[in-house]
Amino acid sequence: MGKTLLVFYSRSGYTASLAGEMADMAGWDVDEVKDVRPRTGNWGAVRCVLDVLLRRRPGIRSGGKDPAAYDLVVLAAPVWMRRLAAPMRSYILQHRGKFKELAYACTYGGSGAERAGAEVAALSGKALKATLAVTSFELEQADYRVRLDAFLGRLKQA
């Protein structure tokens, strides 16, 4: 698999939990994407909706790891309204052309995972080596581990 970077964005903590577990299991380097303006309270929720509907690129910051220095980048982000979370959209567009190989993992409430994965591929211009979609309910029940192992196995073989 070579050198791997896991880049994640999490608003509620679900994606952070999944990302932490993946990084611990696989021994990957980690970089967190954060909003420049916090998304707390009602206004934060409204901004999430507007950013998705208007396909905005909100300001972000990260730990500064260069994705071009890695053989594989695994992006992890939530699905908002059946689309990729806007901060991860900003990250992908900022680093487009730097990804050698790309995979995607998402957390979501019930639908839109495939659409968000397709958006990652379209924005990055890269085919995804593997995808993993885990609902918030599955995370709470720890009912996703078989699929997580399979996802990590596919990436090891890539």
What tens digit of pLDDT does each residue of 50-76 get? 999 999 999 999 999 999 999 999 999
In this prediction, residue 1 has a pLDDT band, given cuts at 50, 70 and 90, of low
DSSP symbols for the chain: --SEEEEEE-SSSHHHHHHHHHHHHHT-EEEEEEESS---HHHHHHHHHHHHHTT----EE-----GGG-SEEEEEEEEETTEE-HHHHHHHHHHTT--SSEEEEEEESSS-HHHHHHHHHHHHT--EEEEEEEEHHHHHHT--HHHHHHHHHHHHH-
CATH number for 143:
3.40.50.360
For residue range 92-146, what is the model confidence (pLDDT) as tens digits? 999 999 999 999 999 999 899 999 999 999 999 999 999 999 999 999 998 899 9
Q: Decide if pLDDT at 157 tops 90.
A: no
pTM of the prediction? 0.95
Which residues span the domain enclosing 133? 4-157
Number of domains in the chain: 1
pLDDT at 110: 83
